[in-house]
Amino acid sequence: MSEKNSTFALPKRNMQERLRFFIRYYVFWVLFFMAQKPLFMLCQHRLTGDIQWSDWFLVPWHGLPLDLSVAAYLTAVAGVLLCLSVWMNVRIVATVIHIVTAVFILLSLLVIIGDIASFPSWGYHIDKDVFDYLASPQEVWACAPWWIWTIGFVVVAVLFVLWWLLYRHVVAMPLQSVEKTSTKIGLTAVLVGLTALLFLPMRGSVTVSTMNTGRVYYSDNRMINLAAVNPVFNLVESLSENTFDSSRYRYMPSAEAAALLHAIRPDTGKPMAQLLTTDRPHIVLIILESFGKCAWDAMPNMQKYAQEGVYFSNVYANSFRTDRGVMAVLGAFPGCATTSVMMVPSKTQQLPQIGQVLKANGYDLKFYYGGDEDFTNMRSYLITGGFDNRVCDHDFSISDRLSKWGVPDHILFDFASHDILKRHQGAQPCFDVVLSLSSHEPFEVNYHHLDHPYLNAVAYTDSCVGAFVETLKQQEQWQNTVVVLTADHGYPYPDNLLNYDTLRYEMPLVMVGGAIREAKTITTLGSQIDWVPTMLHQMRLDAEDFCFAKDLTDTTCMQYAYFHFVDGFAFKTRRGTTIIDAVINTPVVDTASDSLQTKQACAITQQVMELLYRL
């Protein structure tokens, strides 16, 4: 049978050119992602620290499985299109491949450069949370100065041109020689077979184990391990995960985890020390953006009120973002390492809040914020918590919305102080919450006293707090008022602070006001969630629903602080600190050297995840 008449004959030239393109295409993407590793390490040199010269080779090598996997997924798309080129117009299909490749390069670069830019502040690779923030473009734009965005887009554009030229003049060259063929079935079968082989690098094995970010971990330095992670794979993996799947964090039987949690925080239902002169004070809660203890020297007013009131000197934030911090402060909920719970109203509406308790006991609630209350679904959470009366950016004139985030703190606090003065004239006790925003990146404030932008922004907001409290002091109701000063979360200052460093989570907690019985410092080790049962017990109200928090005056409770970060959590006691990387379920820091403490840390995390799964 002649070659011309054979249905299954494989034209040599068509086959070779398609194979050459297929192989080049796959290698192109592998090299593309491998090149990201040294770029990431170079840009994050402050965080990666004194790495060994060998790590510059070991990071790309150990990160190769994820690069091979992502490259396989992208090449599979080209493989399918190559199969179509056998049956359709070759030039049209080639054009589609070029367009798809350009889109892939652009999207990948946006993820890679965005990841490099955000990592110093976030402390973790971009994950699905980024889409929650993209829902509010104004807030995303406010995260950095315009020139940072400009540099980022220029870098993306330059890299796009370089990689595109490499693709067009090297990788795509074989497509120019591909011609229409009459022997379609055999050629299609070969291309389908090649594309099917990509399943191996996609999945990473032929066993039940599938590709995951933990596959590239090889060092006892967590930052080196993170450098080996492919950011595109990390983003896609986070999108495919079951956010509230508790099985990932199942370290022991549920009954054992519950028993361990109960043992470290038995609820006596009453305070061990009376801090207030009344059990129904006006409560003003101020949640300060990024007010980490690392900036304590930039908070003269906070220091002043710490001396005048009750200062809890050993308190840690439970998380690292405002949405998580607000839930910790208002709901005594430590949050979880996998996602923002605030973004899921079906969960948050079943979790208790201090506002609900106070409202049920006759309090009038009001919330003040200079930004967008819909950011990260905060409005839903506040309404669930009983805050029917809320003030946000839209309640101010356009001329007052001077910052990227909304209304600057001096305007917000001035408005809140005068409004609260009026509210305190009534007979009903009030619970007022003020959430600041000016000490958020990019720290653009009309205040120039300190060189470091973060410290300067903190000092600015601290001055606003000072003016606010001094205004409240002038009212007669001051003697029946307690002002609670705390933070939503800390901040990575100094600049080389790792995202799991305990210094990043140290935060102030101060109660000041005429209703304070006496000035004192309480050194109990605790978390920001603990202020809720502490306050409720002072008011002789039940706090049993807040099952993860403890009364900071209760000496029967174990002294500990718990916080989480992306894919990890920490447990600090008087014995030491245990920090666990949840990807590999291994402590990265263990100064306690105590297996029981490790189990206690795991028990809290497991109980949080199991609760969320049940809701």
* 305 CB-near residues (< 8 Å, 6+ apart): 469, 483, 485, 510, 512
Among 268-277, 349-358, 384-393, 592-601, the range scoring the smallest mean pLDDT is: 268-277
Residue 206 reports pLDDT greater than 60: yes
Residue range 200-210: mean pLDDT, rounded: 74
**Residue 150 pLDDT class (50, 70, 90 cuts):** confident
Q: Which of 188-192, 399-403, 489-493 has the highest mean pLDDT?
A: 489-493
Q: What is residue 94's predicted lDDT score, i.e. its pLDDT?
A: 86
Mean pLDDT of 322-348: 89
Chain Cα centroid distance, residue 153: 23
Asked whether the predicted pLDDT for residue 2 surpasses 60, the reply is no
pLDDT score of 157: 95
Radius of gyration of the chain (CA): 28
pLDDT confidence band for 11 (50 / 70 / 90): low
Residue 306 has pLDDT above 50, yes or no: yes
For residues 248 and 6, the model is more confident at 248
When pLDDT is averaged across residues 450-479 and rounded to a whole number, the result is: 96
- Top-ranked range on mean pLDDT: pick from 3-7, 430-434, 443-447, 585-589: 430-434
pLDDT, mean of residues 467-485: 96
Q: What is the mean pLDDT of residues 478-505?
A: 92
- Looking at the DSSP assignment, which residues form a beta bridge with residue 514? none
580, 598 Cβ separation under 8 angstroms:
yes
Among the listed ranges 136-145, 150-159, 202-211, which one has the minimum average pLDDT value? 136-145
The pLDDT tens digits of the residues spanning 219-254 come to 877 788 888 999 999 888 877 765 666 677 889 999
What is the C-alpha to C-alpha distance for residues 377 and 188, in angstroms, rounded to an integer? 49
Hey, is 357 helix, strand or coil? helix
pLDDT at 557: 85
- What's the rounded mean pLDDT across residues 41-50? 73
Query: Mean pLDDT across the chain, nearest whole number?
Result: 88
Which of 245-259, 311-325, 435-449 shows the lowest per-residue confidence on average (mean pLDDT)?
245-259
What number is the average pLDDT over the span 44-65? 82
Task: Give the integer Cα–Cα distance in Å for 560 and 337.
Answer: 19
Q: Which two tokens stand for residue 8?
A: 């299954």
1 pLDDT more than 50: no
Mean local confidence (pLDDT), 139-166: 82
Distance, CA of 505 to chain centre:
14
pLDDT of residue 9: 44
Task: Enumerate residues 6+ apart whose C-beta is below 8 A from 475.
Answer: 421, 424, 481
> What is the structure's pLDDT at 391?
96
Among 105, 83, 77, which residue's Cα sits nearest to residue 15? 83
Write the CB contacts of 355 (distance below 8 Å, at least 6 apart in sequence).
330, 365, 385, 386, 387, 431, 433
Q: Is the pLDDT of residue 148 over 70?
A: yes
Dist CA 85 CA 188 (whole Å) = 9
Answer yes or no: is pLDDT of 478 > 80.
Answer: yes
> With bands split at pLDDT 50, 70 and 90, how would you rate the model's confidence at 593?
confident
Q: Going by C-beta distance under 8 Å and a sequence separation of 6 or more, which residues neighbour residue 123?
A: 320, 492, 498, 499, 500, 504, 565, 566
- What confidence score (pLDDT) does residue 14 get? 67
Least confident window among 32-46, 271-285, 441-455? 32-46
Distance from the Cα of residue 438 to its chain's centroid: 19
pLDDT > 80? residue 48: no
DSSP states along 452-482: SHHHHHHHHHHHHHHHHHHHHHTSGGGGGEE
d(Cα 310, Cα 536) in Å, to the nearest integer? 16
Residue extents of the structural domains in the chain: 12-240, 266-557
Give just the sign of the alpha carbon dihedral 268, 273, 278, 280. negative
How far is residue 97's CA from residue 11's CA, in Å, rounded to a whole number? 22
Does 180 have pLDDT greater than 70? no
The mean per-residue pLDDT over the stretch 150-168 comes to: 93
Note the pLDDT tens digit of each residue in 247-282.
778 899 999 999 999 888 776 566 678 999 999 999
With beta carbons less than 8 A apart as the criterion, state whether 613 and 254 touch.
no
pLDDT at residue 12, as a whole number: 60
**Was domain 266-557 assigned CATH 3.40.720.10?**
yes
Confidence category of residue 4, pLDDT binned at 50, 70, 90: very low
The answer to whether residue 7 scores a pLDDT higher than 60 is no
Give the number of other Cβ atoms within 10 Å of residue 135's Cβ: 13
Tell me which DSSP letter residue 276 carries.
B
Q: Tokens 């034209």: give the residue.
A: 11
Cα–Cα distance list, 514 to 278, 354, 470, 479, 539 (Å): 10, 22, 12, 4, 15
User: How many Å apart are CA 426 and CA 479, to the nearest integer?
Assistant: 15
pLDDT score of 32 more than 80 = yes
Are the beta carbons of 35 and 64 closer than 8 angstroms? no
Residue from 319, 339, 555 nearest 331 by CA? 319
| pLDDT for res 137 | 64
Contact (Cβ atoms closer than 8 angstroms) between residue 350 and residue 373: no
Listed range (67-81, 149-163, 189-203, 529-543) with the worst mean pLDDT: 189-203
pLDDT of residue 42: 86
Provide the 3-class DSSP secondary structure of residue 221.
coil
